[in-house]
Amino acid sequence: MAHQRFKVGQLVHFSPVRPGVPTSGHQYQIVQTLPAEGGELLYRVKSKSEAFERIAKESELTRRN
């Protein structure tokens, strides 16, 4: 099983690789860790400026400095 790089509650930058996916900002908080899909770990993330949560691939997230 792959090791999760991020933990629930951690602040991260979200940069979706899918073109045309608007984001309200790049700072998101990890809400939940999810099982891998297609060999890549997934996370549920939430921005304070959005009323909904998003699903992000681990490759779309980076640690916030």
Q: What is the pLDDT of residue 47?
A: 93
Residue 10 in any domain: the answer is yes
> Coil, helix or strand for 62?
strand
Residue 54 in any domain: the answer is no
Residue 62 in any domain: the answer is no
Residue 55 in any domain: the answer is no
Q: What is the pTM of this model?
A: 0.84
Contact 41, 59 (CB under 8 A): no
pLDDT in tens, the chain (65 residues): 568 899 999 999 998 877 766 776 678 999 999 999 989 999 999 998 889 999 999 999 999 87
> Coil, helix or strand for 59?
helix
Residue 28 in any domain: the answer is yes
Q: What is the pLDDT of residue 32?
A: 97
Q: What is the pLDDT of residue 29?
A: 97
d(C-alpha 21, C-alpha 64), whole Å? 20
Residue 31 gets the label, from left (phi > 0), alpha (psi -120 to 50) or beta, of: alpha
Residue 40 in any domain: the answer is yes
Q: What is the pLDDT of residue 17?
A: 78
* Amino acid present at 59: S
Residue 42 in any domain: the answer is yes
Query: What is the extent of the structural domain holding 43?
Result: 1-16+23-48
| Total tally of structural domains belonging to the chain | 1
